[in-house]
Amino acid sequence: MAAVLDSFVKRCTASLEDFADQEACAALGIVDDVRGLLATLLRIDAIISHEERRRVLSAKTDAWVVQVKDAMYEIDDVLDVCMIEGAKILAAGGPPTPKVRCFFCFKLSGPRKFRHEIGFTIRDIDLRLREVEEEMPRLPAGSAHSDDAKRDWFSRDVCKNCSDAMKPQAVGSQVQKAVGGLVPRMLREGKKKVDVFAIVGAVGIGKTTLAREIYNDDRMTENFPICVWVDMSKNLSELDFLKTIIRGAGANVGVTENKEELLILLASALSKRFLLVLDDLESPSIWDNLLKDSLGDGVVRGRILITTRNEEVATSMKATIHHVDKMDPESAWALLCNQVDAECNSEELATLKDVGIKIAEKCDGHPLAIKVIAGILRSRGNSKAEWEMVLNNDSWSMCPILPEVPQAVYVSYVDLSSQLKECFLHCSLYPEEFPIQRFALVRRWIAEGIVNARDKKLLEESAQEYYVELISRNLLQPDPESVERCWITHHLLRSLARALIADESILIYGQQKLNTSLSKPRHLTLCSMENSLDGPISLKQQMGLRSLMLFKSPNVRAIDLLMESASCLRVLDLSHDNNAPEGCDLDDLKALSELRHLHIESLDRATSGASALANKPFLEDLYLSEQAPAIENQEDLEDKDETEKEEKEGQERSNGQCRGDESTKASEKIWNELTPPQSIKKLVIKNYKGVKFPKWIKGPKLGDSFPSLVFLDLENCMSCTKLPSLGLLSQLQSLQISNADSVITIGSEFLGTTVLSSATPFPKLEVLKLRNMKKLEEWSLTVEESQVVLPCLKSLQIQWCPKLKALPEGLKHVALCELHVEGAHSLTEIKDLPKLSDELHLKDNKVLQRISNLPMLRSLIIDDCSKLKHVAGLDALQHLRLVFPPSTETFYFEELVIFWSVAFPRWLELLIQKCKGLRRFELQCGLSLLRSCLDGGKNWHLVQQIPEVRIISCDGKRYFRYNKSRRIYETNAQSEE
């Protein structure tokens, strides 16, 4: 992990405190040495906590910082050895086994010498730290605790998920004006078949925002059936660039790797009027070498829109140029308001405007600066005193590390807690062109130990909150196509993050030479490596590495020697290295005894692996996967009509049966050879091709094999017809099963219950997710009368199980807090869940008709359930949210078709009238229904009874807000005269 010093010291201090109280420490006879080191650390921690705010933005790295950080890494290593050897003493009732540790300055040649040398090492670290302490700044009186301990640094009312954190893109009036001028010009027919337009401006000034507004404008989509967006900042090769456009236009690339063939495909793909956006273009070479001739000679007319910092690029492409200038004060204030709280009423804004304008002025008309400062203000709430604290923050006057980065970005970074700083810095270890997968990212944070459990939540839940918080602060941006992926919001933010961790991380692209100036690099990322490292890593550098990630670097053999010598490696991530031409020998991993996190995606090409996971006492996070089916093959099938697909599939079944059997046997063999250690806490099994799960994850002794397993994810195990007896996992808290296509029923075998067993199935399970189980029809939770099932389950998600006929009857005994059911197209009713309390979320359940007997439910969300006609027995309901997408034209009620543009259905009227405790009603709908809820409309008599109402149109442009007690009535959706 890209360690933030004060957080790193606190983790080491906590680890030392814990170890000092363990029997292993006493068995080694080093209690006094450990407590002496602990006392020194506590003094240093107080100084560092006070200095971190000042030091983090200093252009100069103090020598003592490097020395303290190196000492923390040494302490981390020493503790690992102590825990291993101490555990051996306690287990054997005798002295430790002699062992050589290559990363220490001593060799362990016997029990007594081991105790002497480990004690000497601890005392030596203590002595060096006390010498460093003399060089550190003095701690002012009364400054023993940092601000981090006093303030909850998370946004108030933290969003539950990243989709909630994704606010609609807010733009200032200048952007709206620019769109109003540019779009008509781009629609106007010219003499050229392909006209080029350019948005030119300084870095971070809002070029991409303007381009995105044009790209999403209804007039553009109506006139240009093909719209493609290409991010040019991602170092695309010419072939990847062409493939991106072809796929974006909806065509199939196939397996073509020839530029001339791709150019032909490009001309064919752009067969209709097209809009092509090239965002952040730095050179006209793409235009000159690839697009000018191939598109200019075509039959179809189109528009190319580029954004660039270099006006010469636009000029050389003979583009119509639009310059983007800094935002004026009023536009900056409007953007700030929208980013902080788009629903803030005018009275609240009036009290904040004077200080808000001053904050916006400090952002110097820079949209990126305004957005990141809005992220801070959002965490403070609409309090004038808090806003004034941000305005007067001394970080505005600190000397920046990079002059091109707006001062507001530094203010935003300094405002983060130490844990959030580490999470953000870690994101910069990923190459810019690769999206960061949310699930993998939060697991990495947990594996590195930087996530603190909040409010007795699961670590995974706390890590998700970290992720959402970074999105809320506009430091991470979810991918527009999927909330499961994200990017660092802007390359200026990435530049700052890379600068802040430059002293301990290396990122190498292609055959770029290794930076050997770092004597002790801790993190190494290799991207697009085709051969071995051009500049070899010295033995000293290898020994200090803590994390290694490979991206698009299929020649794994190039780093075999590195893996053998990097004995301190904690994190090995080969998740993006899934195109290796050769099988890899997993036994090469056996030397990595300090691993905490291991991620491998190509087990089907492994040649052996019997000892790969042996001697891994600290391994807690394990992600194992085979290759997923080739995307291009899927595209080929999608392009065929149904008859051709059936013929192709039949031919493959007859010709490929033997190959399939061989593949299945090979898959089962390699997986069965692997035996994860008992230390595993998080396990992911993905793309397993066997018909039976590996022997180590099934059977009556499953609980003994995984005594510490907390999180389990079974994904794309498509051939397995039965699930393992996962109810035997006594510590399991979170379970996700997805794409188990062959599972038809889930019964007692899943719980692991037998007549002779009285154990409680899933005794600690809190979160259960069943996703994309296409054939699942029945699910039973039947147990003996004396048994309790799922006693701790709080959250249940069932998504895209289209054949599931009913929820299990045993669910009525479970004290659920949240239930989410989506895409269950055979489910007709949800009833008799007397203990469901917090939220029921229903989405796209095509035949759902009845909801009844949920007496404790407080919040109900219904999204596109068009057959619903009966809702009753929700006596405790306080919050109701309904979403009706534009495609929903009619709803069914008592065999009559009720047009929502006319009135609410009867079930909704009755629900509003009977639920006396209903406090908040939210509705997303068409404009006609929205207007029917206004004063004088057909539904006003129902709406006015509810204390708080918020209604928004499907396109997000029209709204209605009503608060009965505060006498708020605001709308921009009045009927047009």
Q: Specify if 405 maps to a domain.
A: yes
Q: Give the pLDDT confidence score for residue 912 in this predicted structure.
A: 92
Same structural domain, 443 and 426: yes
Same structural domain, 883 and 901: yes
The domain in which residue 434 lies consists of 162-168+328-499
DSSP helix/strand/coil, 143: coil
Of 275, 305, 323, at which residue does a domain stop?
323
Q: Specify if 226 maps to a domain.
A: yes
Q: Give the pLDDT confidence score for residue 480 in this predicted structure.
A: 72
Same structural domain, 319 and 382: no
User: pLDDT > 70: what percent of the chain?
Assistant: 80
Domain harbouring 279, CATH code: 3.40.50.300
Strands 482-488 and 476-479: antiparallel
Same structural domain, 269 and 373: no
Q: Specify if 487 maps to a domain.
A: yes
Angle made by CA atoms 215, 218, 223, in degrees to the nearest 5: 85
Angle made by CA atoms 389, 426, 528, in degrees to the nearest 5: 140
Q: Give the pLDDT confidence score for residue 917 in this predicted structure.
A: 94
Same structural domain, 428 and 538: no
The rounded distance, in Å, linking the Cα atoms of 387 and 609 is 57
The rounded distance, in Å, linking the Cα atoms of 397 and 414 is 12
Q: In the chain, which stretches have pLDDT less than 50?
A: 1, 57, 59, 95-109, 144-153, 156-158, 160, 168, 556, 558, 579, 581, 631-643, 645-646, 649, 652-656, 889-901, 977
The rounded distance, in Å, linking the Cα atoms of 584 and 606 is 5
Same structural domain, 519 and 463: no
The rounded distance, in Å, linking the Cα atoms of 76 and 338 is 45
Q: Specify if 227 maps to a domain.
A: yes
Q: Give the pLDDT confidence score for residue 821 in this predicted structure.
A: 98
Same structural domain, 916 and 972: yes
Q: Give the pLDDT confidence score for residue 858 in this predicted structure.
A: 97
Q: Specify if 370 maps to a domain.
A: yes
Same structural domain, 926 and 954: yes
Element spanning 277, H or E: strand 274-279
Domain harbouring 555, CATH code: 3.80.10
Q: What are the beta bridge partners of residue 550?
A: 526
Of 452, 482, 499, at which residue does a domain stop?
499
pLDDT tens sequence across 642-690: 445 445 545 544 444 555 577 788 888 889 888 899 999 999 999 999 9
Of 440, 465, 499, at which residue does a domain stop?
499
Same structural domain, 256 and 294: yes
For the chain, how many helices (H) and strands (E)? 33, 34
Q: Specify if 740 maps to a domain.
A: no
Look at the chain and report how many structural domains it folds into: 5
Same structural domain, 59 and 192: no
Which residue is associated with the tokens 């997986």? 671
Same structural domain, 140 and 100: yes
Same structural domain, 318 and 334: no
CA of 89: how far to CAs of 19, 344, 845, in Å?
Answer: 15, 63, 59
Cα-Cα-Cα-Cα torsion 545, 549, 550, 555, nearest 10 degrees, comes to 40
Q: Specify if 662 maps to a domain.
A: no
Q: Give the pLDDT confidence score for residue 139 in this predicted structure.
A: 62
Q: Give the pLDDT confidence score for residue 928 in this predicted structure.
A: 87
Q: Specify if 124 maps to a domain.
A: yes
Q: Give the pLDDT confidence score for residue 56 in this predicted structure.
A: 55
pLDDT tens sequence across 285-341: 888 888 888 786 666 788 999 999 999 999 999 999 999 988 888 888 888 888 887
Contacts for 424 with CB less than 8 Å, ≥ 6 apart: 413, 416, 470, 475, 476, 497
Q: Give the pLDDT confidence score for residue 645 in this predicted structure.
A: 46
Strands 226-231 and 870-872: unpaired
The secondary structure of residue 123, as a DSSP letter, is H
Q: Give the pLDDT confidence score for residue 568 in this predicted structure.
A: 81
Q: Give the pLDDT confidence score for residue 416 in this predicted structure.
A: 92
